[in-house]
Structure 1
Amino acid sequence: MPVIAVVGPTGSGKSDLAASLALELDGEVINADSMQFYRGMDIGTAKVTGAERRGVPHHLLDILDVTGEASVSDFQQQARARIADIHGRGRRAILAGGSGLYVRAALDVLEFPGTDPAIRHRLETELAAAGPAPLLARLETVDPVSAGRLGDARRVIRALEVFELTGRPFSSFMPTREYFQPTVQIGLSVDRELLRERLAARVHAMVARGLLAEVRQLDAAGLRLGRTAPRALGYAQFLKVLDGESDEAQAVEETIVATRQFARRQLTWFRGDPRIHWLDWQDPELVTKAAALCSPGADAA
């Protein structure tokens, strides 16, 4: 049986379609939204509620504290183990999420180089002492492809760490479009203007449900100590409200803008994959058409 993946921009209805397919095809859902790994980050990530799961088992939700750091390589191992287990029980594995690299890590042939804390610490010390420019210059020498693509200091450090560890440029580890096992990817094609409106309405609904209180509670639990969780959409903006650097109305507007920008980046990422079958997110026969694509051997690579 092919793995099923439901992808697309935030707010397009991936979680709902995944649950519907699971009910239709006797399946189970595996989360591939990296921010939904975190316990307590429920409102701001639009995490599927118990009612929205409709009795369907959901995997890889709430697996990290907010002080932890999501790892693509760890996710790859965990997602593939869940896929093997679900298929081994004769059920269908349905991956759902909009974190593009995490989706590809689960589905594609993708190798992750190891890490070395000593190398990482030395590079971070260099960054603190001299800033990012010397590190970026060094990366341009050994891996110009990555240097031209990475602007974030953490990623520059990672690329240099990989080169020192393996002798290979970090760019050589980038994924190819080759499935790890037979897969059907279903993308939700959206009306962009309608999506913009939906995303704004969703942020307002999150605030009404208590997003600020959720951020306050997570802040007390160490949210700022994490490397990934405090940068999540909504959480970063509402932490500034707690600090008195912003007010709620400004945080709402900034979250809406950031969410719309994120959705555009997701669309660009997924549109670049020619293997995805795109279906209209508002098609009344969406579930039926998606299920037809998922029958064993139905155009799976």
Structure 2
Amino acid sequence: MTTPVAVVGPTASGKSDLALDIAERLGGEIVNLDAMQQYRGMDIGTAKLPVAQRRGIPHHQIDVLDVTQTATVARHQRAASDDVDRLIAAGVTPVLVGGSMMYIQGLLDNWQFPATDPEVRARYEAMLEDLGVAALHRRLAEVDAAAAASILDTDGRRIVRALEVVELTGKPFAASAPTIGEPRWQTRILALDRDTEALDERIRLRTRQMFADGLVDEVRALCDVGLREGRTASRAIGYAQVLAALDGDHDMDAAEELTFIGTRRYVRRQRSWFRRDHRIVWLDAADADLTGTALRAIGPR
């Protein structure tokens, strides 16, 4: 059986370039594991590779949602699973790439998601609107301290989901998480990382470049097609900060700084999450022979 390769790790570590190198060498195709790159039009702020830079390699699960649609781990799991199965059947190596932790674990561990209840979900979403994300995060801390510790106090959607699961199951949110075992399809999992100071500098430079490349205009254009109504798209790092600036909450210099800070915080969570996964082979992004090292870690095909 053709074995997939996953390239994961923190934001701005260089995953996209390595994944393309691997896909070229193995005759593979890319399957996206980044939640926000699923959205059409969210290009600059998600560091989505332009088509011209994809080296002719097909990419799947990119540009599959409108910004008004809600991105869910369950939807991605179904769609990406179909992509992987189809590629394997055709003898093509799936190269899975991204840094959205739950999307990765949902796909590779075949996560069976707890049921949802529209009324319970709607109640917590109304509380989010009325009380604000910080207050709802405090409420989560009261009923499930471990979940609150693992979810950013700015991630309203995950806070709502955690509260919903706790109420419906009567168990901590973590109880619904999958067990880390043999990865689905026997996937080889590589993670890319860099020295913290170097990675922080890359995040700062990338954030600055995003704003210079027209992130604010991109957000304005997306507002015309419903960005503000999108429950997940509007809360993406960078987009949320620019929307707040457009609303007069702060200026664009502050939006840029807050985007950098938010990304850096997210990177810390990514590292913590991935370091718990014993299946991962860690690679140093500064390795002069990174692609060779990655191919050796993948092993014979």
1:199 matched to which residue of 2? 203
Question: Over residues 236-258 of structure 1, what are the superposed CA-to-partner deviations in whole Å (9 max), with x where a residue is unaligned?
Answer: 11112222332222221221122
1:217 matched to which residue of 2? 221
1:110 matched to which residue of 2? 111
Q: Flag structure 2 segments of 5+ consecutive residues without an equivalent.
A: none
Question: Over residues 258-288 of structure 1, what are the superposed CA-to-partner deviations in whole Å (9 max), with x where a residue is unaligned?
Answer: 2122112211111221211111102121111
- SS of 2:240's equivalent in the other structure is helix
Greater Rg by CA = 1
2:186 matched to which residue of 1? 182
CA distance in 2, matches of 1:129, 1:107: 37
- SS of 2:185's equivalent in the other structure is coil
1:8 matched to which residue of 2? 9
Q: Flag structure 1 segments of 5+ consecutive residues without an equivalent.
A: none
Equivalent of 1:250 in 233, 254, 266: 254
Aligned amino acid, residue 176 of structure 1: T
The answer to whether residue 57 in structure 2 is matched with residue 56 in structure 1 is yes
- SS of 1:30's equivalent in the other structure is strand
- SS of 2:96's equivalent in the other structure is strand
- Aligned pairs for 1:72-111 (under 5 A) are 72-111=73-112
Aligned amino acid, residue 43 of structure 1: I
Q: Percent identity?
A: 47
The answer to whether residue 75 in structure 2 is matched with residue 71 in structure 1 is no
CA distance in 1, matches of 2:265, 2:256: 14
- SS of 1:93's equivalent in the other structure is strand
- SS of 1:55's equivalent in the other structure is coil
Aligned amino acid, residue 256 of structure 1: F
- SS of 1:266's equivalent in the other structure is helix
TM-score by length of 1: 0.87
CA contact (8 A) 2:33 2:104 kept: yes
Q: 1:216 to 1:59 in 2, by over 3 A?
A: same
- SS of 2:178's equivalent in the other structure is coil
Aligned amino acid, residue 175 of structure 2: S
CA distance in 1, matches of 2:63, 2:7: 20
| 1:135 CA drift (Å) | 7.0
Aligned amino acid, residue 270 of structure 2: Q
1:45 matched to which residue of 2? 46
The answer to whether residue 240 in structure 2 is matched with residue 236 in structure 1 is yes
CA distance in 2, matches of 1:200, 1:250: 13
Q: Give the number of equivalent residue pairs.
A: 294
| 1:39 CA drift (Å) | 0.7
| Cα-Cα RMSD | 2.7
CA distance in 2, matches of 1:134, 1:206: 32
Aligned amino acid, residue 171 of structure 1: A
- SS of 1:69's equivalent in the other structure is coil
- SS of 1:181's equivalent in the other structure is helix
Q: 1:269 to 1:148 in 2, by over 3 A?
A: closer
CA distance in 2, matches of 1:59, 1:88: 16
CA contact (8 A) 1:127 1:135 kept: no
The answer to whether residue 265 in structure 2 is matched with residue 261 in structure 1 is yes
CA contact (8 A) 1:135 1:157 kept: no
Q: 1:226 to 1:87 in 2, by over 3 A?
A: same
- SS of 2:175's equivalent in the other structure is helix
Q: 1:33 to 1:134 in 2, by over 3 A?
A: closer
CA contact (8 A) 2:7 2:15 kept: yes
Q: 1:84 to 1:281 in 2, by over 3 A?
A: same
CA distance in 2, matches of 1:134, 1:187: 33
